[in-house]
Amino acid sequence: MNWLEVSLTVSGEAAEAVADVLARFAPNGVVTEATQIETTSDEPEGHAVGPVIVRAYLTADDQLEATRAQLEENLWHLGQILPLPAPQYKNVADADWAEAWKVNFHPIRIGRRLMIIPAWLNPPLAPDDVPIRIDPGMAFGTGTHPTTQLCLAAIERHLKPGQPMLDLGTGSGILAIAAAKLGSGPILAVDIDEEAVRVARENIAANGVAAAIQVEPGSLAETLAGKFGLTSAPLVMANILARVLVMMLEQGLARTIAPGGLLVLSGILEGQAYEVIAALKQQGLELAAQEKIEDWVALIARRPNAVTTKD
């Protein structure tokens, strides 16, 4: 199958809104990647800074021109609210997808020990480094975006060895892999996108942690219903979009957190944090921390031991 790649280089503030528009037309999801990696003497591997590229892939079928016209109309309306550049288009074949990532995807250090490494590279590692090898495929989560970095740092700080974890909206599987390599288990990773599940399974196998991680195509409702076995955990991760996180909280997300456990939410622009915080409090959860990279925020909430969360 062939694809038409559509991409826009935008500010972090605009990235979520653009991704939301593209996701309406892209059958395999939307990917956000950094345009620049900044290095320092303390962090030679660098971290993502500056504008981001939002990419999506439209199916090159007989409906392509109509789909492209609808997409551009939606972007025009968004452009009346946020300044946007014109979308860029490029024809891409399935076989070329992975090659497109190799140009700007570099090893990134996150926290003290985690090293996110493109699957095709073999950089030198320190004795204590925990390598996570990622071949993105058509799934979100390469480690370059602040939302993923915030989640990975939270896992390194808060995960206890042997502790179960839930990864809701796993994307490339990067968070589940990090947790497994840091000693977590069992881990349940779910995603409503079957392509993401396929990519996650491949990345998990490549990192040698398949025994610790169960990856399933499914939703929050199916998880709560016990379809996949694990229904709650001391650490729950959800790196999605602010509006989706609010909806998930209304649908019972708090019940996936074991009493006294932590919920890490990311994919939240700074200006949207108050909405998610209000939804957390509505469900009886306590805000334990609010962390930020550029315009992006991660919220860490705790489920009190003695509070029964609302359905």
pLDDT band of residue 138 (cuts 50, 70, 90) is very low
Q: Does residue 119 carry a pLDDT above 90? A: no
Q: Does residue 262 carry a pLDDT above 70? A: yes
With beta carbons less than 8 A apart as the criterion, state whether 58 and 25 touch: yes
Top mean pLDDT of 122-126, 146-150, 200-204 is at: 200-204
Centroid of chain to Cα 199: 13
Lowest mean pLDDT among 41-45, 143-147, 151-155, 194-198: 41-45
Pick from 10, 7, 20: nearest CA to 83:
10
Mean pLDDT of 222-247: 93
What are the Cα distances from residue 308, in Å, to 16, 248, 255, 281, 305?
32, 17, 9, 13, 8
273-306: pLDDT as tens digits:
999 999 999 999 999 999 988 778 999 999 998 6
Q: Does residue 245 carry a pLDDT above 80? A: yes
Query: Helices 64-79 and 12-23 meet at what angle, rounded to 10?
Result: 150
pLDDT of residue 306: 63
pLDDT of residue 241: 80
pLDDT band of residue 140 (cuts 50, 70, 90) is low
**pLDDT > 90: what percent of the chain?**
46
pLDDT of residue 49: 60
Mean pLDDT of the chain: 85
pLDDT of residue 139: 47
pLDDT of residue 52: 82
32-56: pLDDT as tens digits:
776 665 555 555 445 556 688 888 8
Greatest alpha-carbon pair distance for the chain in Å reads 57
Q: Does residue 308 carry a pLDDT above 70? A: no
Mean pLDDT of 253-258: 96
164-210: pLDDT as tens digits:
999 999 988 999 999 999 998 899 999 988 878 888 999 999 999 99
DSSP 76-117: HHHHTTS--PPPEEEEEEGGGHHHHHTTT---EEETTTEEEE
Sign (positive or negative) of CA dihedral 128, 262, 199, 92:
negative
Number of residues that this document lists for the chain: 311
Pick from 94, 156, 165, 102: nearest CA to 129:
156
CA angle 273, 114, 249 (to 5 degrees): 30
Query: Does this model's pTM top 0.85?
Result: no
Going along the chain from its start, the domains and CATH numbers come out as: 2-101 (3.30.70.120), 108-302 (3.40.50.150)
Show the DSSP H helices in the chain as ranges: 12-23, 64-79, 97-101, 146-158, 174-181, 194-206, 220-224, 242-250, 273-282
